[in-house]
Structure 1
């Protein structure tokens, strides 16, 4: 398991705020830009959406 660096996290969070469900092309571009696999980016967005859903459910 690899941890995201603070720089990668900042880019991912910024992208998430604009588009919580990026398409294949956006994920591909992010993977090249951040040096992460497309799959790990896909999973990051999946987990982030689940986190938002979980927080919304609590309140």
Structure 2
């Protein structure tokens, strides 16, 4: 069986996710579900995006 390719967020999805990130670093479960439906992503994918974004932000702020 072939492993499914990783899906990357497109420009529109990134725009919305980055706007939400500017308001809150830790979106609620309800907000993650709402974003997932709005963007066509799973809430888990949204959660992982925020985890990665926070880590990236911390790394840049330390440098």
State the TM-score, normalizing by the size of structure 1. 0.95
Cα RMSD of the aligned pairs, angstroms, is 0.5
How many aligned residue pairs are there?
58
- When Rg is computed on C-alpha atoms for both structures, the one with the higher figure is 2
* Larger RCO (CA within 8 A; separation ≥ 6): 1
Q: Normalising to structure 2: TM-score of the pair?
A: 0.89
Structure 1 consecutive aligned stretches of length 4 or more whose deviation exceeds 6 Å = none
Q: 1:15 aligns with which of 20, 23, 27?
A: 20
Matches within 5 A, 1:17-36: 17-36=22-41
3-state DSSP of counterpart to 1:52: helix
